[in-house]
């Protein structure tokens, strides 16, 4: 979906905004899901049971007094159950929304910005991250319907822009939607390559990847597409590079020159402060884009170096700086695209060699995410505009719910793209 705005506004410390919600799930503050690799998704459980989250080494988390200690085992198990239950409720909410339509998409209610390609792809990714494959798991049937929707909306070779995944009613997703759809197809193919659906996905994935390679700009970046242009944009580039990484993991050959040019383009987005710019022509940086670019560099095999270190330093400076902004002092205190930033921060920090980086941020973010969940299992799409005004439902509760389910699922690593 078209998401240029996340890189102009910063997310704030949610702990200061929702003190009452902290009390509702205070026990979760001492727990983050496992820091380890997930088991293969083909072994995902049946009968609606989510895979177990392993306990993180809680001795690495500081207590209120600054000392290191283990909480009671019962408290850890209760927190694990809270996280699993939250993901389950979120995925069930997505399934209920999907059941309202016949085409397999995850619908956006009337009046909100229509982006069915991007949102359906995110829903498919969330089902897989929650333990389902096209042949097994609690939401296998819903996953298959979502994948079929994406396959149906790929342009055949006989039409203009062959391989491009789009829908006539979707004017928002564009290159973001194509990238997310390609990523979803790649993950599904990795999990079930030999099934009849898996073989169809493999063919569609190859066409989708070919289109991505062909639309890369001369400077190594991508724009909204579907054609090739000299224009470029950071969030589009991030999305498409991750799609290529997913396809590579699924066994497809990606042109080395495409990746090397993309890596150089992303590195050139970094400014002297360590943050990453929206584009080469736009100097604005943000936590969201910086995290997204770091996650993308990790996806291409770049885990160390000055660019990486400066990027993480920039993120922490801005995250800590938000705590100093008092209510009413400006839009920088409030999130513009909270779900987008949350997911990319999770990916970037999860890939950091020092696992304490992820724990430092996520131990509060998990708590706030679960406390914000509605009684029906979904999350409201609430954000702030450039003036600090609240916007509700820009991309819809389906979008927000899929993103939060993905965030909560990152540490388990069941989705191939999330594995460390």
pLDDT at 327: 53
Cβ 228 vs Cβ 215: under 8 Å: yes
pLDDT tens string 164-197: 999 998 888 999 999 999 999 999 999 999 999 9
Has residue 58 got a pLDDT over 70?
no
Has residue 103 got a pLDDT over 90?
yes
Distance CA 287, CA 219 (A): 24
Contacts of 232 (CB under 8 A, 6+ apart): 217, 219, 220, 221, 222, 223, 265, 279, 280
Q: Does an H or E element contain 392, and which?
A: strand 390-392
Looking at every residue in the chain, the average pLDDT score rounds to 82
pLDDT tens string 360-393: 999 899 999 999 999 999 999 987 766 667 777 7
State which residues form the domain around 212: 5-61+70-418
Distance CA 149, CA 214 (A): 24
Has residue 97 got a pLDDT over 50?
yes
Q: In the chain, how many domains are there?
A: 1
Task: Choose among 265, 182, 272: nearest CA to 230.
Answer: 265
- Which runs of consecutive H residues, i.e. helices, occur in 6-66? 19-24
CATH number for position 221: 1.50.10.20
pLDDT at 64: 34
pLDDT at 243: 98
Rounded to 5 degrees, what are φ and ψ at 384? -120, 145
Cβ 42 vs Cβ 51: under 8 Å: no
Q: What percent of the chain has pLDDT over 90?
A: 60
pLDDT at 147: 98
Distance CA 339, CA 335 (A): 9
pLDDT at 322: 83
50-59, 98-107, 271-280, 359-368: which has the minimum mean pLDDT? 50-59
Contacts of 405 (CB under 8 A, 6+ apart): 87, 90, 91, 94, 126, 129, 130
pLDDT at 395: 82
pTM value is 0.83
Q: Does an H or E element contain 397, and which?
A: helix 397-409
- Which runs of consecutive H residues, i.e. helices, occur in 153-233? 174-191, 196-214
């Amino acid at each position: 979906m078209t998401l240029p705005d996340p890189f102009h506004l910063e997310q704030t410390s949610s702990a200061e905004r929702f003190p009452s919600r902290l009390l509702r799930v205070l026990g979760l503050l001492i727990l983050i899901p496992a820091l380890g690799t997930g088991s293969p998704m083909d072994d995902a459980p049946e009968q609606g049971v989510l895979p177990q989250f392993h306990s993180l080494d809680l001795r690495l988390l500081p207590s209120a007094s600054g000392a290191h200690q283990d909480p009671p085992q019962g408290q850890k198990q209760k927190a694990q159950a809270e996280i699993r239950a939250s993901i389950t409720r979120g995925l069930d909410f997505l399934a209920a929304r999907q059941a309202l339509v016949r085409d397999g998409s995850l619908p956006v209610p009337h009046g909100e910005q229509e982006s069915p390609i991007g949102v359906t792809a995110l829903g498919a990714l969330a089902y897989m991250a929650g333990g389902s494959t096209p042949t097994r798991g609690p939401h296998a049937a819903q996953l298959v319907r979502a994948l079929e929707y994406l396959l149906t909306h790929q342009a055949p070779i006989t039409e203009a822009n062959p391989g491009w995944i789009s829908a006539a009613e979707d004017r928002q997703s564009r290159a973001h939607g194509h990238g997310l759809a390609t990523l979803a197809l790649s993950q599904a193919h990795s999990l079930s390559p030999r099934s009849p659906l898996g073989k169809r996905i493999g063919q569609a994935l190859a066409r989708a990847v070919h289109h991505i390679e062909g639309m890369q700009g001369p400077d190594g970046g991508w724009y909204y597409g579907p054609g090739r242009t000299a224009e470029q944009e950071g969030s589009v580039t991030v999305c498409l590079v991750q799609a290529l990484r997913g396809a590579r993991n699924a066994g497809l050959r990606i042109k080395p020159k495409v990746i090397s040019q993309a890596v150089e383009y992303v590195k050139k987005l970094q400014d002297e402060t360590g943050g990453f710019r929206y584009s080469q022509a736009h100097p604005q940086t943000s936590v969201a884009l910086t995290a997204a670019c770091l996650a993308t560099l990790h996806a291409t095999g770049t885990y160390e170096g000055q660019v990486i270190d400066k990027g993480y330093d920039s993120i922490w400076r801005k995250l800590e700086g938000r705590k100093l902004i008092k209510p009413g002092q400006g839009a920088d205190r409030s999130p513009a695209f909270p779900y987008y930033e949350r997911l990319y921060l999770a990916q970037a920090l999860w890939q950091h060699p020092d696992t304490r980086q992820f724990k430092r941020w996520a131990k509060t973010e998990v708590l706030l995410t679960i406390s914000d969940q509605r009684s029906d299992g979904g999350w409201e799409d609430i954000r702030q505009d450039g003036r600090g005004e609240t916007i509700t439902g820009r991309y819809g509760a389906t979008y927000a719910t899929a993103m939060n389910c993905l965030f909560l699922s990152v540490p388990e690593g069941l989705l191939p793209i999330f594995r460390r």
